[in-house]
Structure formats: C-alpha cells, structure tokens
Amino acid sequence: MKAFSVLVLMIPLAAFAASDVPASDVDRARLERGKKQVAAMWRAEDGSAAEQKKFVAEEFAATGAPLDGVFARFEEILEQLDGHFLEIARALSRRVELDLGPVTSLDKRMAELDPAAHLQDDLFASKIAMVALLNFPLTTLQERLSDGDKWSRRQWAEVRLAQRFERRVPAAVQAKLAAQESAANLYIAEYNILMHHLLDGGARLFPRGMRLISHWNLRDELKADYASKGGLQKQKMIAAVMQRIVDQTIPKIVINNATVD
C-alpha cells in the first residue's frame, strides 16, 4: 500500500526555531512526546538516526488546521481499510459462522485466513503509523480512567488512533493469532445444545429443532423465557446446562448431537 502524502498539511521547516522545535508551548510539548513515541517504535530497517530526525521535522503537524488535516485523513483512510477488511473476513468465515451445511476442512482454512495480517506491518513500513505516533498521544489505562471524563470526543478519537499503533506486531505473529482466534470461534460455533432433547421427568420443554449455541443463544433464550409459558421451568433447565458447561461436566456426547436425549 502506497503511503499517502501529508506534507501539504505540515508547517514549513522555516517556521521552526534553531532548536528544531515549534514556537508554541503546546506544540513543543507535543513534539517532545511524539519524538519519544516514534523512537520507541523505530527499528533499524526504518532508517538511520538522521533519517528519523528528518522524518520528525517533515511530518510533525502544528496544532490547528495542519493537525486537523492529518486527523481527518487518518479517519477517512482507516475507515475504508477496516471496513473492507471486515467485509473480506466476513466472507471468508461465512460457512463456519452460519448454518449453511457441513463445515469442510477448506472452510476452516479459509476462516483462519486473516486478510489484514500484514496491514500493521505495512502501516509501519510505510511510516504511516509513525505519522500517527508523532502527532497523537499514547496513553496509559490509568490516564484514560482518571482523565477520560474530561476529554472531548476529538481527544478520545486521537487517543484511540494512537492506541492502534502502541504495539508493532509482526505479520507472522498476527497471522498465528488470527488462526487461534478462528479456532476459538469455530469451537463456539460447533458447541450447540439441542434443546428438544433435554428431558425434565420425561417432558420435552423446548420445541423440536431448537439448537442453541452454548453462550449467547442460551443466554438469550433464558431472557426470552421470562415471558413464555412455563418459563421458570425452562430457565432452571437452561441454568443447569450452563452450569455443566462452565464446570465442564457436561457429557461430550450431547454437544451438537440430535441423536441422544
């Protein structure tokens, strides 16, 4: 992905004092913070110390219209990237997450594919991520908890933008993380309870064909039964099933199986 240019939004080098810092106290503090954030993520392959200094001088945006322009460009581009990658990922995992028939080994492999695995690497390699770290603040959880209620919507957006680049995870590692997450999602997707086959003294409390995923479907059915006939009896049965799932004493044979009661 080609890095977009933000140089038209930058303050000119002539506007810097001899010490290479902006005149405004606010921008001086921002620059010092940004330089530290960039230095913490800068690697040998990103360039020399002189190149890092040149990057900082070229890409730091003064508070006001220049910084607003950088923020708006990030907002526009990241929305496009995230939206389209989400659409691709949804298509890849469709046959695993929806009940469209037997899940094949190819379906599982496609669900494990993370189309955005290399995105973070690319954003750092192109130094787009570095532009964000130079201009927007990284914060700690404690800072967000103690000061967040005083921040404006824009300040929160800047914090979340920088937070996206607080770690530089290699693409190979990101791909393995995606595969593990896919495996966990598949485990949940295939962990169904066939409700019609739950018996209470021989009585079947739930309709034929009702199949509920072990977490949110059971939870939603429990909530729905507040208004249903015989709701308390159904809720007690659901609670018993959920307890067995939590403590792992549920018989494996009943999971996703319509052949046993």
Q: Which residues contact 156 (CB under 8 A, 6 or more apart)?
A: 148
Predicted confidence at residue 19, as pLDDT, reads 40
Predicted confidence at residue 229, as pLDDT, reads 81
User: 0.75 cut: is pTM over it?
Assistant: no
Predicted confidence at residue 22, as pLDDT, reads 57
Query: What length is written for the chain?
Result: 261
Spatial distance between the Cα atoms of 241 and 243, rounded to a whole number of angstroms: 5
Flag whether pLDDT at 127 surpasses 90. Answer: yes
Q: Which candidate, 196, 187, 193, places its Cα nearest to that of 257?
A: 193
pLDDT in tens, 12-59: 333 333 344 455 888 999 999 999 999 999 999 999 999 999 999 999
Question: For residue 89, what are the CA distances in angstroms to 23, 169, 188, 192, 238?
Answer: 46, 19, 18, 23, 33
Average pLDDT of the residues of the chain: 86
pLDDT in tens, 50-71: 999 999 999 999 999 999 999 9
Predicted confidence at residue 201, as pLDDT, reads 85
Predicted confidence at residue 8, as pLDDT, reads 33
CB-count exposure of residue 113 (10 Å: 0-12, 13-18, 19+) = middle
Residue 193 phi/psi, 5-degree rounding, is -110, 125
Taking the domains of the chain in order of start, what are their residue ranges? 7-188, 192-254
Helix (H) or strand (E) holding 71: helix 65-92
Q: Which residue has the higher pLDDT, 6 or 231?
A: 231
